[in-house]
Amino acid sequence: MTAATETAPHAGAAPSEFPAGFRWGAATAAFQVEGALDADGRTPSTWDTFTAVPGRVHGEHRADVAVDHYHRYREDVALMAELGLNTYRFSVSWPRVQPDGRGPANPKGLDFYSRLVDELLANGIDPMLTLYHWDHPQVLQDAGGWADRDMAQRFADYAGLVAARLGDRVPLWVTLNEPWCTAFLGHASGIHAPGVADDATTLAVAHHLNLAHGLGVQALRAALPASAQVSIALNPAPVRTRGTSPADLDAVRRADALRNRIFFDPLLRGAYPADLIADTAHVSDWSFVRDGDLATAAVPIDVLGVNYYTPLYVAGGEGPADPYNRWVGSEGLVHVAPAEGPATIHGQVDAGGLRELLNRIRHDYGPVPIMIAENGVSYPDQLGPDGRVDDVGRVDYLHAHLAALHDAITDGVDVRGYVMWSLIDNFEWVYGYSQTFGLIHVDRATQRRTIKNSGHWYRGVIAANAIPPLNTPAAG
């Protein structure tokens, strides 16, 4: 992995301009914002089931209301327009559209997304539709879920139904959101739905997701106009070590294979990394990979979505069990907490890691166009007595990461847009509502929305298509 990690100073007097036509957006996900879990024919998802088990979610919070986006979407689109977004990334709830996980679509389920798309377009905002953001129908989980190869075809069929209804108006499509989380958090550590903890299953799930992505792209291409852009949103991370021993350096290689190359390589090169196969040979013989699968997984995409939060620090040797990173088949590999710098639930704040990551992708996988499909931070935001949310920490975070992104573009990386996570405070999975990532604050008791100072700052960036010098104080 190459590329500088320090962000070139943007302390000059001139703003740093982004390319013409650069996309500026914000993101949400169905289960995190919609609520209305039993409205209009929706059936339970695997996350409905997972979060219903006591002890799994902070404060026993539930997503049955979330931020009521299902009913308040017009108000939320108006706020997106006030922010000046030209792109809104949202996900479709599979069990809303296909309650039985197979068979014909539920018209009322699709109707909601059709209304949302029309509201976005009426406000000059391009829809960026994620087909799968972890909430597949429970009925499919009962049939084996992603551990079962058939799930890949179920996903492709579902993709075709959504594209048939919305493909005339949605220009940007994302097949899967963060398959690493589905595979490793959902099936290795088990701290995400469906709560499985089995190394061999994790590897099969990762492959079935890669296969599903490829079959999904084919289904989308069959239904969409040629102008549509198809992508996937991965959550890679720069992998680092502070150690110098051979074990430390080998820990970087192994963690990079399990976090990054297990998806980069099949999707962008049509093959799994040989070292990954070797490292995990005692866990699985990888016989779940069948002839033709990798050619399917590697079908061309138009854009690679990158969700970036933080680098990953590892070391060789033994260490405490790490609930977040279960290193499948890699005993003697430990995730270490970063020693310095401000840390959040996602780890160390490190804007230079974004530049490093994007240069690595370009260096190792070529000039694939990139969209930042998620980047953001949770801080404990408070509504002040003046009715404003002075989230200066989030402004600093966004400013530093946009400066790093600008540097990566200057380095030659083809970046087409930036989608901030998140538009609005929402249900943060096992953290419930305890973590707030939004540009928009939500009063949980009243559902009242308030644009935070970071939202006002972001609106200025979008209007100028540029970031101010880093030494410019955030407007209060």
Q: Which residues bind ligand GCO (CB under 6 A)?
A: 29, 32, 177-178, 181, 235, 307, 374, 421, 428, 437
Q: At what angle do helices 262-269 and 199-223 cross, to 10 degrees?
A: 30
Smaller CB distance to ligand GCO: residue 280 or 436?
A: 436
Per the annotation, the verdict on 178 as an active-site residue is: yes
Tokens 């390319």 belong to: 19
DSSP assignment, residue 257? I
Give CB contacts under 8 A, 24+ apart, made by 143-149.
Answer: 143/101, 145/46, 145/194, 145/205, 146/182, 146/183, 146/186, 146/187, 146/205, 146/208, 146/209, 146/212, 147/187, 147/196, 147/201, 147/204, 147/205, 147/208, 148/208, 149/208, 149/211, 149/288
Nearer CB in complex with ligand GCO: 16/231: 231
Query: Nearer to ligand GCO by C-beta: 272 or 458?
Result: 458
In whole angstroms, what is the distance from residue 422 CA to residue 27 CA? 5
Q: Give the list of residues 6+ apart from residue 21 with CB closer than 8 angstroms, or none.
A: none
Q: Considering the complex, state which of residue 264 and residue 272 has its C-beta at the smaller distance from ligand GCO.
A: 264
Q: 178, 318, 331, 428: which is the annotated catalytic residue?
A: 178
How far are the Cα atoms of 150, 377, 415 from residue 140, in angstroms, in the given order?
10, 33, 36
Is position 374 annotated as part of the catalytic site?
yes
**Cβ at position 235, least distance to ligand GCO in Å:** 5
| Residue in the block written with tokens 């029309």 | 118
* Given the residues 34, 119, 356, 374, the one annotated as active site: 374
Phi and psi at 449, nearest 5°, equal: -95, 140
Cβ atoms of 307 and 263 within 8 Å: the answer is no
Complex with ligand GCO: residue 189 or 235, whichever CB lies closer? 235
Specify the residue, 33 or 239, whose C-beta has the smaller distance to ligand GCO. 33
Residue 425: CB minimum distance to ligand GCO, A = 11
Which residues, 6 or more positions from 54, have their beta carbon under 8 angstroms from its beta carbon? Answer: 60
CB of 181 to ligand GCO, least distance (A): 6
Minimum CB separation of residue 435 from ligand GCO in Å reads 7
CB of 353 to ligand GCO, least distance (A): 15
Q: How far is the CB of 427 from ligand GCO (least distance, A)?
A: 8
Q: Please, what sign has the CA dihedral across residues 456, 64, 56, 372? A: negative
Q: How far apart are CA 412 and CA 16, in angstroms?
A: 15
Which of residues 46 and 280 has its CB atom nearest to ligand GCO in the complex?
46
* Cα 363 to Cα 3: distance, rounded to the nearest angstrom: 9
Nearest to 219 by CA among 274, 153, 169: 153
- Which uninterrupted H or E stretch holds 159? helix 150-166
What residues act catalytically?
178, 374
